[in-house]
Amino acid sequence: MPKIKVLLFVALLIAQGLGAPILPAGAAQAAEADICLGCHGGKDILITFESGEKLPAFVDGEALRGSAHGALECSDCHGGFSAEKHPQRKFKTRRGFKAQASGICRQCHTPRSATHKKMLLDVKDLICTDCHGAHAVKTAQGSENHCTDCHRHGIVMTFAGGEKLSLQVDAGEIKRSVHSMLRCYDCHFGFSAEEHPRRAFKSRRDMTIINSEGCRRCHFDKYTKTLEGIHFDILSQGNLNAPVCADCHGSHSIHSGRKEKLLSAKRCERCHSEIYGTYLQSVHGNALVSERNQDVPVCSDCHKAHDIADPRTVDFRNMTPEMCGNCHANEALMAKYGLSTSVVKSYLEDFHGVTVSFYKKQKKAVRHIAVCTDCHGIHNITKTKGPDAAALKEKLLERCRKCHPNATENFPDAWMSHYEPTFKRAPLVYIVRAGYKIFIPFMVIGLALQILLHIWRYAVNR
């Protein structure tokens, strides 16, 4: 320690003992801090522990003066240390040193609330400096991240039934989420740097359901849609396992389901694992996983995201052609994969499609007319060509026989279905259609000509 600063400090003490004017408290603190910073202001000073760990003993003077403890003297916290006395202390580990040093904080500060006390009990190795820092100490009101200062540690909440939940929050996840611009208390209403109420929940599930109600403050339009969905119906009947906002969207690492479809589908897997496994084997699921194709439909495209209807109802079944048509009637999208949009048009123009459209208009609950999923499957949709074609034809025949019990193996081939007839695929149908295209215009033109000639003849004879 520089001799000049030591002598200065001793001179101050002598002057005070001889009755000399006492320096203002701030000046005395500044003098002591300057003496300490004579060594600790150097960035190369280190403390070495018995474990071999090292800890920088550097203190930033500017940060110290601007901290909440800026008016204190160094010896107020570091008892036993002075300009004359600098005892050597040994510690086994860096963590042990910090734990003992933080014990000094309790001389002035006691836990502010029951929540604070419980946090210190739940996290046995949590010490004051973990949250508040050592020398650049900031008050909770002065810290931009006062919530994560504590919640970045393994704080645990214990529920009435003994169930435990970690309240550790990764600040990086929040920054990467769609809520990165929000503050903690925008969602956790009633909590702030000054207020941290303690809330009791019977179980972890109760907490999730109650906290999800806060989503409606910003997403009221989405919330009202959920009231019309099957999940809310199940929840209102007392089944607490029905999913709520946080189950599908997460709590802190919230991402847009529209941008990453695979992540959206995986959320549904949590409850519908068997169906999800079947979906992965389908033509849509395989393209999503192996090719990361964002054009293929996932759960929310067919079932919707919030106002999820019961797929077992007749109304949902009769909406299937419209649902499939969202993609398969899109000419730009189908052209991208070499598919024809005529599949939808041909279905809507044939007996099945026309009948379904009539039933929809009349709001009749009829489920025997074939729709897309009856022939192609629901979650296990496969290609109509290739190695799976034979199995698909067999299932199709089984479906046809529900309404047409006498159907033979060639019955599905006899129905043109979605295919436009060609000379190679269905030559007789193709020729008849081509003949009609010539014969009908010829007949119409001939009839119109006959009428005109008849009128002309009638006019001449008069």
Alpha-carbon distance 386 to 412, whole Å?
A: 17
Q: Is residue 394 part of a domain?
A: yes
| pLDDT classification of 24: cutoffs 50, 70, 90 | very low
Average pLDDT for 392-407: 84
Q: What percent of the chain has pLDDT above 90?
A: 23
Alpha-carbon distance 34 to 459, whole Å?
A: 125
**What is residue 73's DSSP assignment?**
-
Q: Classify 420 in phi/psi space as left (phi over 0), alpha (psi -120 to 50) or beta.
A: beta
Q: What percent of the chain has pLDDT above 70?
A: 85
* Residue 30 confidence (pLDDT): 60
| pLDDT classification of 21: cutoffs 50, 70, 90 | very low
Looking at the structure, do residues 203 and 153 belong to the same domain, yes or no?
yes
pLDDT digits (tens, 9 = 90+) for 251-298: 888 877 677 788 889 889 989 999 999 999 999 999 999 988 989 999
Looking at the structure, do residues 7 and 106 belong to the same domain, yes or no?
yes
Looking at the structure, do residues 269 and 368 belong to the same domain, yes or no?
no
* Residue 16 confidence (pLDDT): 42
* Residue 244 confidence (pLDDT): 93
User: Which residue from 91, 102, 147, 159 is spatially nearest to 126, judged by alpha carbons?
Assistant: 102
DSSP string, 367-398: --S--HHHHH-SS----SSSTTHHHHHHHHHH
Looking at the structure, do residues 301 and 318 belong to the same domain, yes or no?
no
Output the six-digit token pair for 199. Answer: 């809330």
Average pLDDT for 238-249: 91
Output the six-digit token pair for 329. Answer: 């009637």
Q: Is residue 322 part of a domain?
A: yes
Q: Classify 45 in phi/psi space as left (phi over 0), alpha (psi -120 to 50) or beta.
A: beta
Alpha-carbon distance 326 to 339, whole Å?
A: 14
pLDDT digits (tens, 9 = 90+) for 91-124: 888 877 777 777 778 777 766 555 565 555 555 5
Q: Is residue 325 part of a domain?
A: yes
Q: Is residue 119 part of a domain?
A: no
Number of compact structural domains in the chain: 5
Long-range residue pairs from 352-358, CB within 8 A, at least 24 positions apart, any chain: 353/321, 356/318, 356/321
Looking at the structure, do residues 291 and 382 belong to the same domain, yes or no?
no
* Residue 7 confidence (pLDDT): 41
Alpha-carbon distance 208 to 367, whole Å?
A: 38
Looking at the structure, do residues 6 and 102 belong to the same domain, yes or no?
yes
Looking at the structure, do residues 69 and 3 belong to the same domain, yes or no?
yes
* Residue 173 confidence (pLDDT): 87
Looking at the structure, do residues 344 and 409 belong to the same domain, yes or no?
yes
Selection from 21-35, 308-322, 357-371 with the highest mean pLDDT: 308-322
CB 356 within 8 A of CB 321: yes
Q: Classify 296 in phi/psi space as left (phi over 0), alpha (psi -120 to 50) or beta.
A: beta
Looking at the structure, do residues 281 and 291 belong to the same domain, yes or no?
yes
Average pLDDT for the chain: 80
Is the pLDDT at 318 greater than 70, yes or no? yes
Q: How far apart, in Å, do the first and last CA atoms of the chain sit?
A: 137
Looking at the structure, do residues 234 and 157 belong to the same domain, yes or no?
yes
CA atoms within 13 A of residue 135's CA, in its CB half-sphere? 19
Output the six-digit token pair for 256. Answer: 């847009």
Q: Is residue 65 part of a domain?
A: yes
Alpha-carbon distance 301 to 179, whole Å?
A: 24
Looking at the structure, do residues 164 and 236 belong to the same domain, yes or no?
yes
Looking at the structure, do residues 332 and 297 belong to the same domain, yes or no?
no
Q: Is residue 8 part of a domain?
A: yes
Q: Is residue 377 part of a domain?
A: yes
Q: Is residue 116 part of a domain?
A: no
Output the six-digit token pair for 428. Answer: 């007789």
Is the pLDDT at 232 greater than 80, yes or no? yes
CB 113 within 8 A of CB 196: yes
Sign, Cα dihedral of 288, 294, 297, 299: positive
CB 77 within 8 A of CB 135: no
Instruction: Name the 3-class secondary structure at 53.
Output: coil
Give residue 368's domain range: 309-420
Query: Which is more confidently placed, 370 or 70?
Result: 370
pLDDT digits (tens, 9 = 90+) for 160-181: 888 888 888 888 888 888 888 8
Is the pLDDT at 5 greater than 60, yes or no? no
Bridge partners of residue 238, in order along the sequence: none
**What is residue 242's DSSP assignment?**
S
pLDDT digits (tens, 9 = 90+) for 119-155: 555 555 667 777 777 787 766 554 556 787 778 877 7
Give the relative orientation of helices 273-280 and 261-269 as an angle to the nearest 10 degrees. 140
Long-range residue pairs from 139-142, CB within 8 A, at least 24 positions apart, any chain: 139/68, 139/193, 140/193, 140/194, 141/193, 141/194, 142/68
pTM of structure: 0.62
Is the pLDDT at 344 greater than 80, yes or no? yes
Is the pLDDT at 183 greater than 90, yes or no? no
Give the distance, in angstroms, between the CA of residue 83 and the centroid of all CA atoms in the same chain: 57
